[in-house]
Amino acid sequence: MDFEISKLCIELFCTDEDTSLREVLTNLEIAILIRSLRRFNGNKRLTSEYLGLKPTTLCEKLKKHQIDPKKFILKTNEFRFEYPQKGGRIQGKRKK
């Protein structure tokens, strides 16, 4: 791993010098979950497909970290889904 990337990871996910590996990995997992939910507008099915998780596993992780996917749903009629490249079929619809 490049030194600059390692340094950035430490700055982003280590809250202090005594941060354990478990805490760093937890912070990283939370960041990935939040970023993915934002990317797919709070859609748990698309998020789980993108992350390669079973939907039940994603729900367990969201519950464990107290993350509410509804907070990532856009309130406007914007269409912001970015679909996974698997299968190449668009399945989302614009909200009415």
Model confidence over 42-93: pLDDT tens digits?
999 999 999 999 999 999 999 999 999 999 887 665 555 555 555 555 555 5
State how far the Cα of 90 lies from the Cα of 96, in Å rounded to an integer. Answer: 18
46 inside domain: yes
pTM of the model: 0.66
Contact 52, 86 (CB under 8 A): no
pLDDT over 50 (residue 1): no
22 inside domain: yes
pLDDT over 90 (residue 9): no
pLDDT of 2 reads 56
13 inside domain: yes
83 inside domain: no
pLDDT of 23 reads 84
State how far the Cα of 57 lies from the Cα of 54, in Å rounded to an integer. Answer: 5
State how far the Cα of 56 lies from the Cα of 71, in Å rounded to an integer. Answer: 19
- Alpha-carbon torsion, ordered 43, 44, 47, 52, to 10 deg: -160
pLDDT of 18 reads 74
State how far the Cα of 92 lies from the Cα of 57, in Å rounded to an integer. Answer: 22
Backbone angles phi, psi at 37, to 5 degrees: -65, -40
Model confidence over 13-28: pLDDT tens digits?
666 677 787 888 888 8
What's the structural domain count of the chain? Answer: 1
